[in-house]
């Protein structure tokens, strides 16, 4: 074979190798990391992950008591064809008695005492100034409370409101935990967030090395594909009873909510970017 023939054969082999590499290898890794996914195209039931959906309500006479009931209020939480990708959840009002619905942590997050990571991604379309309650948590993952083993982001009581991510460790019995007003609280703050109704915004909370017992935990807030800030180099333990912990959704929230997903590990910057650039990416299986 001539030199020119060898050169041509080398080019052909190179092209064959390149075409054999899947162009969506990154997307495939992201899909494999999904532990929970609710597109809200047709219902609140997740396409990936487990139920049941439960509604927790407070006792009007005792703030420490709660009742749990299966299902959710279908008069308040509806599916509408206005999503960032297909249908979406429309939270039209807030539940009485500090009510909130949830998906279980068990089977939907990779919680493990000794060390674990994860992430939660969602799209929201709302006006912070129009919220009906003092505080609103589009997502709050906890057993005992937001500031006692809680992963969340919220809109607070400031005027105009701030958006905040919190990753508060569990508080041992007899101890006092950190306050949200503390300068070194495990939070990322976005003052006077300027969201408006009609605009979709992508939120990602990503964390790693929780419950290791070492000061190596980290958590990062992303908004619209950009890193906003992080909490790092701390000992953060959720210390949940996994049978009792919930992924509380649309807590005090009114507006549109879409493409909610949880992952069994922290996400890379590239993966957050992919979720932001292609809102329906996880539905393309």
Q: Could you tell me the residue ranges of all domains in the chain?
A: 47-283
**What's the pLDDT at 61?**
87
Average pLDDT, the chain: 92
pLDDT at 1: 52
How many other CB atoms are found less than 10 A from the CB of residue 143?
Answer: 18
- Ordered mean pLDDT values, 10 residues apiece, the chain (285 residues): 49 43 66 97 98 95 91 98 98 96 98 97 98 97 97 97 98 92 96 97 98 98 98 98 98 98 98 97 85
- pLDDT at site 104: 98
- The rounded distance, in Å, linking the Cα atoms of 57 and 52 is 16
Q: Report the top-level CATH class of 47-283.
A: mainly beta
Residue 63: per-residue pLDDT: 80
């Amino acid at each position: 074979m001539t030199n020119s023939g060898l050169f041509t054969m080398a080019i052909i082999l190179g092209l064959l190798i390149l075409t054999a590499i899947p162009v969506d290898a990154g997307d495939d890794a992201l899909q494999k990391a999904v532990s929970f996914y609710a597109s809200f195209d047709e219902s609140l039931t997740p396409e990936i992950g487990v139920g049941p959906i439960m509604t927790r309500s407070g006792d009007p006479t005792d703030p420490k008591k709660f009742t749990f009931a299966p299902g959710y209020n279908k008069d308040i939480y509806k599916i509408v064809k206005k999503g960032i990708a297909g249908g979406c959840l429309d939270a039209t009002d807030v539940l009485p008695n500090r009510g909130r619905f949830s998906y279980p942590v068990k089977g939907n997050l990779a919680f493990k005492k000794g060390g674990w990571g994860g992430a939660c991604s969602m799209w929201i379309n709302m006006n912070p100034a129009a919220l009906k309650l003092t505080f609103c948590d589009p997502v709050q993952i906890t057993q005992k409370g937001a500031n006692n083993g809680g992963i969340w982001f919220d809109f607070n009581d400031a005027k105009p409101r701030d958006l905040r991510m919190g990753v508060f460790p569990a508080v041992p019995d007899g101890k006092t935990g950190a306050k949200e007003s503390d300068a070194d609280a495990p939070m990322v703050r976005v003052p006077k967030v300027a969201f408006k109704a009609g605009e979709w915004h992508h939120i990602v909370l990503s964390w790693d090395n929780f419950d290791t017992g070492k000061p190596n935990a980290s958590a990062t807030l992303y908004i619209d594909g950009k890193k906003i800030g992080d909490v790092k180099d701390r000992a953060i333990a959720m210390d949940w009873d996994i049978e009792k912990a919930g992924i509380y959704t649309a807590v005090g929230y009114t507006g549109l909510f879409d493409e909610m997903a949880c992952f069994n590990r922290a996400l890379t910057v590239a993966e957050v970017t992919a979720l932001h650039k292609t809102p329906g990416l996880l539905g393309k299986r």
